[in-house]
Amino acid sequence: MIRSLYSSSSGMSAQQVNLDVISNNLANVNTTGFKKNRVDFASLFYQTLRQPALSTANGQNNFAVEVGNGVKIAATRTAWENGILQETGNDLDLAIEGAGFFMVHLPNGEIGFTRAGAFRLDSDGYLVNAQGCRLLSSKGNAAPENSITLAGQDLKYIQPDTDDFVVQIAPDGSVHTEKEISDLPAIELANFVNPEGLMAAGSSAYVYHDVCGEVILGQPLENGQLGMLHSGFLEASNVNIVEEMIKMIMAQRAYEIGSKSIQTSDEMMSITNNLKR
């Protein structure tokens, strides 16, 4: 009965985390570039009450008796499938069709990787995202004060010369204007052998971890390993409201079952305590 109390409580704790993840998915259903998360569960250790035996005195085989001790959260995983592309009409809004991440310079100095492509020009002429983080590329044209390197290459800011002409961005990341300039910057994307290793940093951005493995850096459509850009579009969240609502109902029911199991175990212990009365 004590074991059942702990097993049930572990199930309730796990479902609470599951519900937290589902709630966060639903809260970000309209967040540009957001990727939904899911929870993976794993059973806790098993206690062997009886070892298996090939034969006994009466010639019968005995199977093992093992009892589990509950459940735990094994991992929270990110679903990287693309969200739908929504047209905005703003040439500086960019959506990635396929693999890859934009690179931005986070306030703490790290490189952020994001699928949210709502960019604009700041007062200094740099391409920045909605949080004011500057877009990075090894083919940029404005060197930062402190060097930023990725995959052995120096990253730079992108600062188009926008004097009296319109900036347009092609599917391969090249920047075009009405004025002929030979050294226009180009937007690059980054991808990873194992994107599951990326750590969430907020604002739909992620930071690198060694678990990600090798970094793939290049212009869109390069080597078939990176997606293409769509100018004038944004990638919507990949959260499916109906799917998340179903998961929420299942998590709620599992939580209720755990609570009922604890109540039943408590009643059984109460009966045992009252046997002498």
| Residue type (1 letter), 217 | L
Retrieve residue 203's tokens: 């604002």
Are residues 206 and 218 in contact, defined by beta-carbon separation less than 8 angstroms?
no
Q: Where are the domains of the chain?
A: 2-80+239-270, 85-235
Q: How far is CA 73 from the centre of its chain?
A: 16
Can you give 121-152 as a three-state secondary structure string?
ECCCCCEECCCCCEEEECCCCECCCCCEEECC
d(CA 146, CA 78): 32
What pLDDT is attached to residue 55?
Answer: 64
Q: Which of 25-34, 103-112, 217-226, 231-240 shows the lowest mean pLDDT across its residues?
A: 217-226
Residue 232 has pLDDT above 80, yes or no: yes
- Rounded distance between C-alpha atoms, residue 156 and residue 149, angstroms: 9
Q: What is the pLDDT of residues 12-32, one digit of tens each?
A: 999 999 999 999 999 999 999
Name which residue leads in pLDDT, 35 or 59. Answer: 35
**How do residues 260-275 score in pLDDT, each as one tens digit?**
998 988 888 888 878 7
The whole-chain average pLDDT of the chain stands at 89
As beta bridge partners, residue 128 has 120, 134
| C-alpha dihedral, 241 to 87 to 107 to 135, nearest 10° | 140
Does the pLDDT at position 163 exceed 80? Answer: no
Query: What are the pLDDT digits (tens) for 117-135?
Result: 999 989 888 999 999 999 9
In this prediction, residue 166 carries a pLDDT of 60
Q: Which pTM does this prediction carry?
A: 0.85
Report the candidate in 74, 61, 64, 70 with the shortest Cα–Cα distance to residue 18.
74
Contact 72, 14 (CB under 8 A): yes
